[in-house]
Amino acid sequence: MKSLQVVSLTLLLAVAAGAQVLKFGKCPKPAVEANFDATRYIGKWYEIQKLPTAFQKGECSTAIYSLKSPGVVGVLNSELLNDGTVNSIVGSAKVKDAAEPAKLEVSFFENSPPGPYWVLSTDYEGHSLVYGCTDFGLFRMELSWILSREPTLPDETVEELHSILSSVGINVNKMVPTNQDKTFCAAMDA
């Protein structure tokens, strides 16, 4: 039991140092978008807000999704770093269970375990709310993104999406906005 406590504490400190959202307890099981249609989801999405992550350090973040094959979505995530360079990563998201197509597993590196990418809400043309959670013994690590087809999203829509997150115990006060200012983000299109 003592080794489990040491491992849990070490993980807690490592993740906390990386600005991840780590909470006590098991991952919730929120409802996902009913009848999710990946073909309507493909295209470019702008990140509006996110729970802090260790692997995203820039601004102007975008995701471009493409349909690779039935049940497999290509992923291209890009962000503008502080030094003015664009950082991009390519991966794929796969439907784990055809009965729940809104529950995808995304991976970016060969032989690395996939991470959960659950679409909790989308209208395909304006907004998307994504959630992921991984259990680590006594703790869980949560990820969430609010995405939009445009660099901005109406406050009412953000509040509606926050309400969905709050209903499953996500602290929306930890969400941080992503700078999508057109002038600032111009280097992303260069």
| Calpha distance 188→186 (Å, rounded) | 5
Angle ∠(38,122,36) on CA atoms, nearest 5: 35
2-189: in CATH 2.40.128.20:
yes
Task: Map out the domains of the chain as residue ranges.
Answer: 2-189
The set of residues, in sequence order, having a beta carbon less than 8 Å from that of 149 and lying 6+ positions away, is 43, 44, 45, 46, 125, 126, 127
Residue 8 pLDDT > 80: no
The position carrying tokens 């996902």 is: 32
What are the pLDDT digits (tens) for 84-128?
899 999 999 999 899 999 999 999 987 778 899 999 999 999 999
> Would you give the end-to-end CA distance of the chain in angstroms?
54
- The predicted model scores a pTM of 0.86
d(CA 167, CA 162): 9
Per the CB < 8 A criterion, the answer to whether 24 and 58 are in contact is no
14 vs 20, higher pLDDT: 20
Query: Encoding tokens for residue 54?
Result: 């260790």
Cα radius of gyration (the chain) = 17
151 DSSP 8-state letter: S
> Residue 108 and residue 22: Cα distance in Å, rounded?
22
In angstroms, the CA 43 to CA 24 distance is 36
Looking at residues 161-183, what average pLDDT do you find? 94
